[in-house]
Amino acid sequence: MKKTILCLLLSGILLAPIAHAIDYGGVGGRPANPKPEDPRTENWFIYTLNPGESQTDELLVQNNTDETVNLLLYPADSTPSTDGGFALKQMVEPREAVGKWVQLSEDKITLTAREQKSVPFTVTIPSEPKPDVGEHTGGILIQRVEPPSPTAGGFRLLTRVGVRMYVTIPGAIQEALQIENVKTEVDEVRNVVIVTTSIKNTGNVSENVQVKNEISSLSPWLMASVLGATPFPLVNEKSLQVLRDNALSTRFEFPKPLWGKLNVQTQILYGNGQVLTADPLTINVPLSWKLIILLAFFAAFVASMTGLLALKKYGYATAKKSSKKRL
């Protein structure tokens, strides 16, 4: 009998606001009461609440299919994802923060084809023990429930989608990031240079960060773009989200130049214009076998042309000398 297969945390796709309900497998969800002054609330629940306070709101659930669907709703805490943002935990995992603070009015609903429904819920921040000041993340998951499949001998694939929730406990908000390290390596097999930047959020709120790597040449003749050489400078920028107390690493790859020295400058931009700058690094790229072969062919060509010219000149001189003797 096949085991129940759960889809990966599809809530992890909610990395940037969009203008419609998050949808997967024909089921979607979004905040029912977005705030006009905050476009982010079109897709995320965002609250600022003190210990002991409550907030009521509604989740708009949509069935975008042409069939009736049975849905299971439940809150969950966040878990860091590889991109620095977050996904939502499994239903069976313990709920300690946002997943515990959210109380849904109902946890099972049935929607007919193309139907949508608003499901009320309440977020209550406990007075004791008081949660840490700063941001706490989680969300509400919408999971499609499928009956067992007699032919497959088990359960059908379950799909789920989540709507993120950010709850900030007022107090001394700290925005702080640090660059843990910047590493470089040359991958001879794939013929690329890799720059890996590791950063950590040491503050108590999540940060939207921009990682910028600028690669410049310390060998001016590397500017020539021949035989796969890379034109410099190169600039790579990535926008990521780093949760509080979380760390992430991001990679930048570019084609390996034939030979020479490169300078790597890394900057992290976050918050209200804060900038972190890492110490510059130097990458020494050894002489490429392509360049060696090119130089060998060039040397052989020059030698052959020199030899041919010498022979031609010698033959011309000999012929001229012979003609003089005949005269």
Question: What is the β-pairing status of strands 54-63 and 177-187?
Answer: unpaired
Nearest to 180 by CA among 102, 89, 246: 246
Rounded to whole angstroms, what are the CA distances from 206 to 215, 240, 326? Answer: 28, 10, 98
Distance CA 219, CA 260 (A): 6
Which domains are present in the chain?
10-169 (2.60.40.10), 177-290 (2.60.40.10)
Q: How many CB atoms lie within 10 A of CB 123?
A: 20
**Chain segment 92-126, per-residue pLDDT in tens:** 899 999 999 999 999 999 999 999 999 999 999 99
On whether the CB atoms of residues 164 and 44 are closer than 8 A, the answer is yes
Question: What is the β-pairing status of strands 160-169 and 45-48?
Answer: parallel
Quick one: CA dihedral 38, 44, 45, 49, positive or negative? negative
Read off the pTM. Answer: 0.71
Tell me the average confidence (pLDDT) per consecutive run of 10 residues in the chain, 327 residues long. 36 37 76 95 96 97 94 93 77 93 97 96 95 95 78 59 95 93 91 93 93 87 50 88 89 85 94 93 79 73 77 64 59
The DSSP code sequence of 181-237 is EEEEEEETTTTEEEEEEEEEE-SSS-EEEEEEEEEEESSGGGGS--TTPPPS-EEEE
Rounded to whole angstroms, what are the CA distances from 56 to 31, 44, 144, 234? Answer: 12, 15, 24, 49
Peptide bond into 233 cis (omega under 30): yes
On whether the CB atoms of residues 279 and 183 are closer than 8 A, the answer is no
Distance CA 27, CA 7 (A): 14
Distance CA 208, CA 97 (A): 22
- Residue 56: per-residue pLDDT: 98
- Residue 182: per-residue pLDDT: 96
